[in-house]
Chains A and B, each alone.
Chain A
Amino acid sequence: MLEQILCIDDDPITLMLCKKVIARSSFSNEIITAQNGEEALHYFNTLKYSNTKSNIKPELIFLDLNMPIMGGWEFLDHFTSSAYSEFNKASVIVLSSTIDPDDLAKAKKYPIIIDFLSKPITQAMLEYLKKKIGLQ
């Protein structure tokens, strides 16, 4: 089981689903959510400058692409920069409803993206991911 994961999506129902499905399949202890890329970066910034001694940081990120304020691609461009070097060892899973082939092609250019999955999140999907990241 992972310690902490981050779900970035502007749709509260998707976030609710993520939380419930992840909880049921014992995928992660803690689920942090953010409504867009900026909020997510803000979360990392707080982690960086907070005085808490806890070493816990997201190990996996579920990322949506189309979001207001800051979309998935823009988030990735910031997140993969040196400013977030202590966090960007985490893997990113794109979880989207897009069918645009350009998005798929673009995803292949980011080594940090380990998979591109279609919504909705399911328990089967999480089982598959567990195998992929070597939790089982």
Chain B
Amino acid sequence: METDELPEDVLPMTNAFKLLCEESAPKQNKKELEKQRQTAKKIKTEVEASKLNLKIEYKNLDFWTEHDVKHPLHHLQKAVDATSSRVSEFKWVAPKVTVQETLSTSNTNEKVQIFIEIPSELIADRDFLNLTYPTKRAHFLCAVAKILEKKFQKIEFTAGGINRDDPIFPDLIVDRVRVGIYCNELAKSKRFAPNIGNLRPATVFGEKIFKGAEIATPKFNQRMLWSLLELELIQELEKQIKPLPTARLALFLLRSAIENRHLGDTFTPVVLTVRVVRLIKNGQITEKQEILTVLKVIFKDFINWSTDEVEYLDIEEEQLDDELEEEYSQHFDVNLIWKHLNIAGNLTKNQMARMKKELSTCYPLLGQVYTFDPIFIEKSPLFAQYDSVARLHVNVSQLAPLLAEYGCDSVDNRDVISQFVRSLEGRIEKTMSERYEYLSIHEVTDSSATWKLTDYASQQREKIFLIGFRTTAGWKNPLTVGPSAQTEEAKEFRELWKESSELRKFADTRICECVVWSEKPSDKVPRAVLQFVLQKMFDLPATCLSWRSLTTNSTSAEADQQNEKKSQEAVFKAYNELSTVLRGLKGLPLMITNVHGISGYLRGTEPAYPSVFAATSSWKSGDMHVVPEPGKIPLFSPAVTVHVKLEFSGKWGNDVEAIRRLTSSLYVKIAENLRSVSKLTAVATVDQLFVIQSGIVFKIVVVNDRILTILEEDVQKLKDSGAARIESSLPGMRLAMWKKKFIAEPLLQMSLQSFSTSHKFFGPTVQLFKKWLGAKLLSGQLNEHIIELLVVAAISKKGCVEPQSTWSSFARLLDLIATHPWSARPLIVGFGVKSFSEEERSKLEEKFVKMRPVLPPMVVIHEEDHLGSKFTRENPQGIVLNRLVAVAKEALKLMEKHTIGDKSIDLETSLLTENLSPYDAIIHLEPAAVVRKKALLERRPPPENSKIRQKLPVVELDPVDELVYQLNNNFHQVAMFFYNKYGGHHIGVMFKPTEEEVPAKISRCSLHKSVSDSSLRLNRAEILEDVQIMGRGIVSDVQLKRE
């Protein structure tokens, strides 16, 4: 990413932004700081004054066991035995102790650190070789622990190192103060350049594998170097950053942004601080800059952080010679050098790519008040960050055959595993880099970094990782295309793929080496590739990797997806054909000028249950259409709504009813025309016209702007007459209704349609959301438009990298529902280019605060509804919204368990499982009445040249919908009804607790019975009996669960 790709500063610094930044700064807990200072002081005096009588061989690790402390390198006794030192005796010598405040360089809990220098008389001149220094260091640490043990309550070992994850160089935590050991005198820093070997693998893993091998140990060198330079570096950093409070604040904000995006494991506080201090030293950050400027400078610097060049903390400092720089570039992905110490040595290219992507998404939003939270405060779950995730389980015993490779530069199992993971990452890069933008490997093993003095350090024989991919369009590509045949590269390629590649000729006459994974693009391809890598290239068992996706049974899931996609394409094609026919119709009094399809089927957001195609019927009658037989439930056929507009005419008159009648006779004309000229099935009714095109039913509605004018005139007349409260008057309501139905909804649908074309996974996500809502028996509680808007909001949330798959967008959606403060903030949905500016947002939010008491529980603001209540006025009620939030949280937990748990579950099935236990009563439905379910027999369109004209089937008649509507209508005062629109066989009934027992009043007696003179009780049996009476033919049984 280059600088010129970033949009230049447009927003000036505002007070509001400054305030926000300052408000979110950590409140310096002075008490805690003071306490830690006191502790540190006490430790210092204790250690300096102590006179421990101790003299042992440094190889004697068991000595400490007798004193109730376990030497942290105890499990490496063999390796320690293989070391040698001129000073083989270890004794206690009072050391130099430094207390250093680490407000910027450590995590927020550790405000003060103590550094103890090992006295030089304990160290010999070649102790930097092998594990001599780590052993002595650990001895010293044990001694310090022993000294402090009596005076302090809580002392624990903790992993040290630059990432705080290195148990070979442990520290102590004493009452929340970190105590580290360093040794400045050990050797010169250039002794630890990456091309030098300081650890003979044979000392660690024995002579068998590594007889006499001398290998460069860049990683081990860096670990040693950190222990040497830690104090010096931290002192330098703290000194540089202390006088710049704005830089400190910016650093804090940056850190929380990084941590919220789950990048904190590798972009540690030290790395971030070094990068910021580098900017201070360069003069790019100065004292007088505003916070926004500083943030922008920092973000820009991170986005432009070069992975190719070797960079230095001090630019003026003497640089390494080119040869050494080359060594660094070879061994590390990222190089940020200070005195031979590569501070960014643990970063990988993929992590850098991800960090850059995240920060460059945030960069243009810096300075805005309303995107501050998503950038710096909000945190979404790890699994929602990736489009595809897999769980990798590695046991070190599986790596035994590969030990020759990963044993170099490793001290223990942990190192072997992490080297393997690095190498795996590299191999994935080589084999499938065209399929993803970046990948990340996160350790999910719950390995606590601290352990008790009396415990052995953990051996960590196995680890669990989460591999997440940000996929590209080529993710499912069935081919891995290699270089042209007969070249040197081709040979390499064949070798890499273990001779499984073959030659393929392409359309442009190229002949290339290719690995063929499948016939068609499929989710199985990347799985197969990764399995190939693990099994064939690393000899690992297939079971160590398991993909965590929405479905495990990918064959049937893929078939379903294909089916949905085909349905959507069929609808879209039929719609295009129909609109051509309609526009070209001749012989009508008025020409059709505008055709506008508005339906979820057109963009694949409505599940094709049972099918998008019309049901065929065998009903014999002369009519063009089928009507339902009394008492029988017809098959469900959906209809796709199409709005048409006619050319302008001044002859419509001034009466809405007259226009309606005229339009109905126009429907008849159009129907006649379609039947005779286009040979289509067309049935006119009073308010719409049904047409079957390519087997799909379309509902055509003429939208006449004249009606709008008339309604507006009516309202104007009312206003002129001095009437107040226009909104609740009849003309006012009619106007609002018309505008909603024929202006707001179509415009919104248009935006959704274009959104769905630019986001391929939008349709499947909405479908999954709808089915999930159904499974939670919440169908009908959210307006269809709101459902889609929520998905849009989750996908296009500002300050987050847009998801690319159903998995990630659904996870983000659940997260949005579960974490949005619905009662305190509106949800503002912007469609990319058309989204709201900062100023507009501020006005909208202000209005929201003023209007909150009269607004519904859920407020969703978008381009067509600036108040945010148009589609949420009636539903969901507060109680239902709460339930929605709760079930979303539950689903998130399920997803998390699924991603990192031992066994992979069929997530979609578990998400879509109904739970009937919370309901007071259950209404069981007749199986035949459930018409909107997955069809057993696939419906097909009639053959194109068929001579038989299809009859119009019964359209959009869902008896369950009707029943629920009537139940709510009849019993809304005392009960709520929950159902699953997509094939649910039950309706859940909840009685309102407030109606359980009411005072004996005529106004509250409905559906109650008398129990005493003063009170009435809800007559549940009466309600359920009524349900049975009303639901004859639909309801099979009613079951009261709780009295």
Partners in one complex: no
Q: Which residues of A contact B (CB under 8 A)?
A: none
